[in-house]
Amino acid sequence: MSDMRQMTALGRSIEDGSFAIIDREAGRHEFDPAQWQIVRRVIHATADFEFKELMRFHPEAVGAGMAALRRGVPIVVDVKMITAGLNEERLKFYGCSTHCFISDDDVIAAAKANNSTRAIEAMRKAWRRGLLDGAIVAVGNAPTALLETVRLIENEGVRPALVIGVPVGFVSAAESKEAALGLGVPYVVARGRKGGSAIAVAVIHALLFLARETEP
């Protein structure tokens, strides 16, 4: 098994020790082994065991996510914090590219003109550019980006390979995730108010590791 972790031996031993603590303290759970690899990495990123109760997976989510990464699909994110947190070398291995439009001038102008949000207009721009079909969509900050993704799937027939819906917040955060749970496409969701860009990054990194570990 190839180890994609760009760490020293000491760094790897610390990470391995952290995962051992998580496995021990988390106790029994109902996740399958691949799902648990994702959940434990989320817990590792947050030191918050409540994510063991919050994480939800579409039955095809892990397989769809791994297959998408191996195809080198675009990864469309709501905020640059996710892009900054992703390991470029791991993405480059499969040829994946990241796309974030939230700070683009035309997106800002459209949000003002339409009285919407930059997150909504950024997802619409990704859709107009044909980036969403077959892509991984990761939302870690803006509930309106997830709600717009849900709308595009339901009303416009968009079909991402995987939706990672983990926005943090108080207004529409929990509601956006509940909407995502009803999607007809694979999803990974953290229910409730908790979430964040670090969670989205953790999910993608876990999928990258799983993709390498299970390669023929």
User: Using the 8-state DSSP alphabet, how is residue 59 labeled?
Assistant: T
Could you tell me if residue 3 is inside a domain?
Answer: no
Nearest partner of 138 among 166, 171, 172, 170, judged by Cα: 166
Could you tell me if residue 91 is inside a domain?
Answer: yes
Residue 180's CATH number: 3.40.50.10230
Could you tell me if residue 189 is inside a domain?
Answer: yes
Could you tell me if residue 113 is inside a domain?
Answer: yes
Could you tell me if residue 29 is inside a domain?
Answer: no
Burial class (CB in 10 A: 0-12, 13-18, 19+), 178: middle
Cα separation, 83 vs 77, in Å, equals 7
Those residues whose C-beta lies under 8 Å from the C-beta of residue 75, and which sit 6 or more positions away, are 86, 91, 96, 97, 98, 99, 135, 136, 138, 204
Structural domain range at position 179 = 50-213
Torsion of the alpha carbons at 173, 175, 177 and 180, rounded to the nearest 10:
-140
Could you tell me if residue 36 is inside a domain?
Answer: no
Could you tell me if residue 15 is inside a domain?
Answer: no
For residue 55, give both structure tokens: 């994480």
Q: Is 199 helix (H, G, I), strand (E, B) or coil?
A: helix
Check if 58 is active-site: no
Alpha helix (H) residue ranges in the chain: 9-26, 33-46, 51-54, 61-71, 80-85, 88-94, 105-114, 118-128, 143-156, 173-180, 197-213
Phi, psi of 48 (to 5 degrees): -125, 105
Domains of the chain: total: 1
pLDDT in 10s for each residue of the chain, 216 residues: 345 555 678 778 888 889 899 999 998 999 999 999 999 999 999 999 999 999 999 999 999 999 999 999 999 999 999 999 999 999 999 999 999 999 999 999 999 999 999 999 999 999 999 999 999 999 999 999 999 999 999 999 999 999 999 999 999 999 999 999 998 899 999 999 999 999 999 999 999 999 998 876
Could you tell me if residue 94 is inside a domain?
Answer: yes
Number of Cβ within a 10 Å radius of residue 146: 32
Nearest partner of 57 among 133, 165, 201, 195, judged by Cα: 165
Q: Could you say which of 29, 44, 58, 99 is catalytic?
A: 44
Cα separation, 207 vs 86, in Å, equals 12
